[in-house]
Structure 1
Amino acid sequence: MQRRILFRRLFLLPSLKSGSLTLTRVLTRYAWLASQARLQLPFLSTPLARNHQFRYLTTDRKRWLAYEVYLGFKYTVYIWAIVGCLVIVYGSVQQEWLERKYPTPHEWGFITRLRFRIAKWGPDRTDWVETDWVVIGEYAKNVIERLEDKKIEGAGLEDLTEGGIWIDGIGKSGYDITAKSEPWRRGYHEALMLGAKAAEQLDDHVVDTTRHLVFPASTIIGPSNPNPRPIPFGAEKAPLEENCERAYEEPETFYMRILTTRGFSSRQKMDAALAYASWLDFKNVPEAAMRMYGWALSLASENVPAPDRPYNPESYVLSDTARAPSTNILDALTALAAHKARNEDTSTALPILISILRARRSLPEPSATVASTSPLSDSPEASKLPDSPWTIGNILHTVKRLAAPPAYPAAPPSGETPPTRDAKERCEEAALNLYIGEIIYAGKAREDGLAWTREGVDLAEEQLHKLTPQHTDAAAKQTCKECLSSGLSNWAKMAARLAREEREKEAQSNNTSASNISTWFSLWGSGRDERDTPGRWAAEEAVVKERTRRAQEVLDDLEAPNTPFSSFFSV
């Protein structure tokens, strides 16, 4: 048995070895034949030497990418549409607010009205660090050019003569605008006055023609300016003289355009003449300024016959027996007297101012009809106003105000009739007291000058207390505010100077008395009360400081802002 098993091993082993060799060689090429039950994983197999190419952009991935691009484009369009709508809404609300605060004639075009609003808003803007008169002047000049262009807003304008009139050194004269409506003429006058104001502010500025930048003339680098003022840090480089020219027209260009235009009222021309005369005073040309003040007085009294004029044509003093002077005459005479006082002709200015003050104090009081139209009156209509803003009538009125364009304001008074002694006129009286007080104080009667100033401050403060925040007379508020501020400033300077002189006299007298005391009893004092008691003018100075503090509270309360939401429901 054992022998048989041995022979089987000897004959079978070579055949098994040969078969296993072939199977092993096969398995070296096809690893999957080794075991059908063995788990095949990617990380268990040996990586191939060459890289295989895979298809990354499949059909599903194409569809997904197209959808993502579509979503991105859609949301981008939505976001920009929302941003655009918000910008349009913001601009519309801003222009509506500007139109209500700075109204423009409705017959003007959209672009002209838009630029005129921005120009008028410029001096009052709070988002500017300082008023940019370059921007204001450019807008004002553009509005004037559009109004004088017969193809845009100037249809119906006529030259005064064939081909117009050219004034040497000034330019073209005015036009004949009598065919235009009153709102158009008033807006044209406002644009010219705004352009003149911008020209005054830019009188000493030049423009660099190579960079189109405006600089003060004191910063020019050139032979005419050997010591140029340094440029602020971060600003553009200073301009060269050969590249500079005048930045804006001269103020007289605009003033003479108004004075030579046919169609403006006497009041409008008089305002331009007074502003031009004040500019000439500032430029230290008193002779030309006096001629312009005389022209303004002639315009103020052109509708009054020469025999009926209430002032002396030589001394300009108002007569007590003449008719009551008009508003234009009072304003022109006041400006003329101030001009004479500035040029040290106080002997002529003081009688004029006193006669004007006497005439203003004799003006009639406001009638009951005018008083009943004020917002402070207890009229039946005022008593019917609702206490709550949420009534149906108030809400409908608010919707109407927001939907309908604001009406252009009515024409102001012509100034050819005597004024009434209302709050504004009483503040004008206070301003006259200040003028008279300055003139008298500059002379020998300092105490009398301070007394006149104190009286003017009292009158202005009294009227400010009467003008509540609900009062609609903005001109009266502004006049009283300016008068009170100027009066307190003058009063403080006068009292401070008198108090200083008083202290110097007291110190000098104390030194003299101390040198005369030579006895040994002075060691125990002179028997007098040595306490520091303030003098008369020192006490006056303390009173001025207290009045200034109280007046500042009144001025702050006067300009208290209203909440924007509640202002929509004002009736």
Structure 2
Amino acid sequence: MVAGNLPRGAVKPSNTRSADCPCPRQFSYKHPRQFLVAHQTSPRPQLPFLYPSGQHLSNGQLQRLFSISANHKKFIKETAKLSVRYSLLIFVLTSCFSIASLGILSEQQERAFPSPHEWSLITRFRFRRGKWWQVPENNEEEGFPNWARVYSELQHTLNRLENTGKDGAGLTEQEEGGILVPGVGKAGFDITAKSEEWRQGYYEVLMGMAGAAERLDGWVTDKWRRNVWAPEFVESASNPRPKAVLPGMPELPDEEHRVPAADAPETFYLKVITSKGFTTYQRLSAALGYADWLSFRKLPDSAEEMYRWALDIAIAGLPTPEPSTVISRETGVLSSTAPKEFITPNVVYAATNLATFMAGHGKVASALPIFVSLLRARLSAADEVIIPTPSTQKDSSLTGTLLSLLSEPDYPPVPPSGDEPLLRKETDRCEEAALKNYIGEILFATAGTSSAQRQQGLSWVRDGVSTSKTAQSFESIKPNEGLRKKCEQCEEVGLESWGKIMTYLAAEAREKRDAANSGLTSLVWKVRGTKGLDEDVENLEGESEGVMLRLNKLRGRMLKEEYDDMDRKYARTFVF
């Protein structure tokens, strides 16, 4: 059956929609989250840019806006866990590295500057840091010792050592109730109950603070002690027009907020001198240090009094009830009939410093007898008997190396008291050369027109140069850099004195020759001849040039050694 034409209206177009089933327009038929609908019952959606701003969002819409998917939550949790884990790992590794670095540095400082084992850990740590900062090469920013930092570290050490509740247990006042020093107050403790190592460490702290206080004289700081200012920035009677602080430096505080950067040096020197328990050498060194400080401050009378006090300290340690048979307290001259066993290194040391001070202040008539008696005592002293000590072979195995690194280094032996008999040592030959130079210079300077005394002084200086040159070849001095440099400096001083003497004699001979060739005296010299005068001038000038060549050669070698030493020091990470 063939289908005929369908009645009109039987087939509806496919693009038409029923009126009873309304539907949104196709251009806005998208996911509901992409639109903000004003009324959920409204069939017509509202686009975002057509949404009225005055309308508020419903709770459901807000929840949909701030909702997080399950995958996103999982990602955030895993990221948080990893962040915490790696942060803790980095913190632990950094802390371990810092602690290990601090431990290695502290161990290196302990081996370079040993501290008494009975001190607490904090006290030893402060003491080592104070010693470490005294080395110029360890101050990379400044290039020279930061004495304010040194003083601060040693001050913490001193406070702990003098605290009876910490490292000062057993430290008591003296039976007399303490010694009162004008301008300083009570000074000196009774430290006889402490061990030798403790007393030696306490002495090093006091002397270190005294040295730092000398260099901080006139410096000021604030009450927080965070910054220090040099004297040239501080207005005072000696500095009425102070300099302005450099850009970047903190401003100088007001006068009522300023405090001295360090106590007076005599505070620490007198504490060593007046304490009970120090050896004679320790008290003598403090007295001489204080005397040198007074001499530096241009107080010659006080300095001489302190040098004589140091001599009295040395005399008090003599092993004889009658010290006048050994040395005169008034003149400081050692007796030529004094027994060898009664002459001690302390007496020689104190008398040498007293004579040097007198010679430097023009009292050569008083200094010359002291120098002669000191040289006589040194030359007549018994020779030192060197007892060879068996050398212990170091264990170079892995176990031995680990044990040596883990074991605590021994504290160095305490130096002798200086009250033992004087011995003639090879290491003290430079002291003999220095005495010969002093004697020769004084003899030549006080000779006047006496040619015999001039030649005698010149001979002493030549002998001093020869002694210092010979001492540099000794096996006990050659490997010791400090002693070798000391002998080189002694030779330099002797050559310089020798050169000045020859220059003076050559100039005097030239004047004599020129005077012989002019005026009425020329007739006399024409008869007698001036050949001898010309030879004298030539010989003196030739010796003077030879001495200057030796001096320049020595100074060149010393300068080269100094530069090489500086290169080696600054090439290392840690310098001790």
Quote the residue 1:323 is aligned against: 339
**Residues 458-501 of structure 1: CA deviation (Å, up to 9, x unaligned):** 43444344457995xx6xx4244234225425634763786599
My pick for the range that moved more, 489-498 or 212-221, is 489-498
Aligned length: 509
Q: 1:13 to 1:366 in 2, by over 3 A?
A: farther
Q: 1:142 to 1:512 in 2, by over 3 A?
A: same
Write the mapping of 1:410-559 to structure 2, written as runs, cut at 5 A: 410-440=413-443, 442-443=445-446, 452-453=460-461, 455-467=463-475, 477-485=481-489, 487-488=491-492, 491-492=495-496, 495=499, 499=503, 535-552=542-559
Match of 2:134, SS? Answer: helix
My pick for the range that moved more, 72-81 or 314-323, is 314-323
Residue 544 of structure 1 aligns with an amino acid whose one-letter code is: L
Establish whether residue 120 from structure 1 lines up as the match of residue 136 from structure 2.
Answer: no
My pick for the range that moved more, 68-77 or 305-314, is 305-314
My pick for the range that moved more, 477-486 or 93-102, is 477-486
My pick for the range that moved more, 296-305 or 329-338, is 296-305
Establish whether residue 312 from structure 1 lines up as the match of residue 316 from structure 2.
Answer: no
Measure the CA separation in 2 of the matches of 1:49 and 1:232: 67
Residue pair 2:430, 2:490 contacting (<8 A) in 1 also: no
Establish whether residue 254 from structure 1 lines up as the match of residue 274 from structure 2.
Answer: no
Residue pair 1:499, 1:537 contacting (<8 A) in 2 also: yes
- The equivalent position to 1:351 in structure 2, one of 331, 353, 369, is 369
- The equivalent position to 1:228 in structure 2, one of 242, 256, 262, is 242
**Residues 51-105 of structure 1: CA deviation (Å, up to 9, x unaligned):** 9968873212211221122112211211221111111111112212222221211
Match of 1:426, SS? Answer: helix
Quote the residue 2:305 is aligned against: 291
- The equivalent position to 1:168 in structure 2, one of 182, 187, 204, is 182
Match of 1:172, SS? Answer: strand
Measure the CA separation in 2 of the matches of 1:150 and 1:501: 66
Write the mapping of 1:49-68 to structure 2, written as runs, cut at 5 A: 49-50=47-48, 57-68=68-79
Measure the CA separation in 2 of the matches of 1:447 and 1:545: 24
Quote the residue 1:42 is aligned against: none
Residue 552 of structure 2 aligns with an amino acid whose one-letter code is: K
Deviation at 1:235, TM superposition (A): 2.7
Measure the CA separation in 2 of the matches of 1:400 and 1:288: 54
Measure the CA separation in 2 of the matches of 1:558 and 1:429: 28
Q: 1:460 to 1:77 in 2, by over 3 A?
A: farther
Establish whether residue 189 from structure 1 lines up as the match of residue 198 from structure 2.
Answer: no
Quote the residue 2:535 is aligned against: none
Residue 253 of structure 1 aligns with an amino acid whose one-letter code is: T
Establish whether residue 86 from structure 1 lines up as the match of residue 97 from structure 2.
Answer: yes
**Residues 391-429 of structure 1: CA deviation (Å, up to 9, x unaligned):** x4xx44433322221222222112112233323211222
Deviation at 1:239, TM superposition (A): 4.8
Establish whether residue 335 from structure 1 lines up as the match of residue 349 from structure 2.
Answer: no
Measure the CA separation in 1 of the matches of 2:494 and 2:227: 40
Residue 341 of structure 1 aligns with an amino acid whose one-letter code is: A
Residue pair 2:170, 2:194 contacting (<8 A) in 1 also: yes
Measure the CA separation in 2 of the matches of 1:103 and 1:89: 20
Q: 1:506 to 1:470 in 2, by over 3 A?
A: closer
My pick for the range that moved more, 226-235 or 86-95, is 226-235
Q: 1:232 to 1:20 in 2, by over 3 A?
A: closer
Residue pair 2:216, 2:262 contacting (<8 A) in 1 also: yes
Match of 1:158, SS? Answer: coil
Quote the residue 1:131 is aligned against: 145
Residue pair 1:308, 1:322 contacting (<8 A) in 2 also: no
Residue pair 1:469, 1:559 contacting (<8 A) in 2 also: no
Residue pair 1:222, 1:240 contacting (<8 A) in 2 also: no
Write the mapping of 1:201-240 to structure 2, written as runs, cut at 5 A: 201-209=215-223, 213-221=227-235, 225-240=239-254
Quote the residue 1:528 is aligned against: none
Quote the residue 1:401 is aligned against: 404
Deviation at 1:341, TM superposition (A): 0.7
Deviation at 1:338, TM superposition (A): 0.6
**TM-score if structure 2 supplies the norm length?**
0.75
TM-align CA RMSD = 4.3
Measure the CA separation in 2 of the matches of 1:73 and 1:140: 42
Measure the CA separation in 2 of the matches of 1:118 and 1:210: 20
Establish whether residue 106 from structure 1 lines up as the match of residue 117 from structure 2.
Answer: yes
Measure the CA separation in 2 of the matches of 1:316 and 1:548: 35
Measure the CA separation in 2 of the matches of 1:497 and 1:13: 151
Measure the CA separation in 2 of the matches of 1:272 and 1:287: 18
Quote the residue 2:193 is aligned against: 179
Measure the CA separation in 2 of the matches of 1:237 and 1:498: 56
Measure the CA separation in 1 of the matches of 2:273 and 2:161: 17
Measure the CA separation in 2 of the matches of 1:211 and 1:313: 45
My pick for the range that moved more, 453-462 or 441-450, is 441-450
**Residues 340-369 of structure 1: CA deviation (Å, up to 9, x unaligned):** 1111111111221122122212222232xx
- The equivalent position to 1:276 in structure 2, one of 282, 290, 297, is 290
Q: 1:19 to 1:196 in 2, by over 3 A?
A: closer
Q: 1:141 to 1:439 in 2, by over 3 A?
A: farther
Residue pair 1:193, 1:272 contacting (<8 A) in 2 also: yes
Residue 310 of structure 1 aligns with an amino acid whose one-letter code is: V
Match of 2:221, SS? Answer: strand
Unmatched 5+ stretches in structure 2:
28-44, 50-60, 448-452, 519-537
Quote the residue 1:155 is aligned against: 169
Residue pair 2:471, 2:487 contacting (<8 A) in 1 also: no
Residue pair 2:477, 2:484 contacting (<8 A) in 1 also: no
- The equivalent position to 1:22 in structure 2, one of 16, 24, 31, is 16
My pick for the range that moved more, 457-466 or 125-134, is 457-466
Residue 315 of structure 1 aligns with an amino acid whose one-letter code is: T
Measure the CA separation in 2 of the matches of 1:108 and 1:510: 75
Measure the CA separation in 2 of the matches of 1:489 and 1:307: 34
Quote the residue 1:519 is aligned against: none
Measure the CA separation in 2 of the matches of 1:172 and 1:412: 28
Residue pair 1:195, 1:254 contacting (<8 A) in 2 also: yes
Q: 1:229 to 1:120 in 2, by over 3 A?
A: same
Percent identity between matched residues is: 32
Residue pair 1:464, 1:554 contacting (<8 A) in 2 also: no
Quote the residue 1:38 is aligned against: none
Measure the CA separation in 2 of the matches of 1:264 and 1:64: 72
Match of 2:68, SS? Answer: coil
Q: 1:213 to 1:385 in 2, by over 3 A?
A: closer
Match of 1:372, SS? Answer: coil
Establish whether residue 96 from structure 1 lines up as the match of residue 114 from structure 2.
Answer: no
Residue pair 1:457, 1:484 contacting (<8 A) in 2 also: no
Match of 2:424, SS? Answer: coil
My pick for the range that moved more, 93-102 or 456-465, is 456-465
Measure the CA separation in 2 of the matches of 1:151 and 1:97: 29
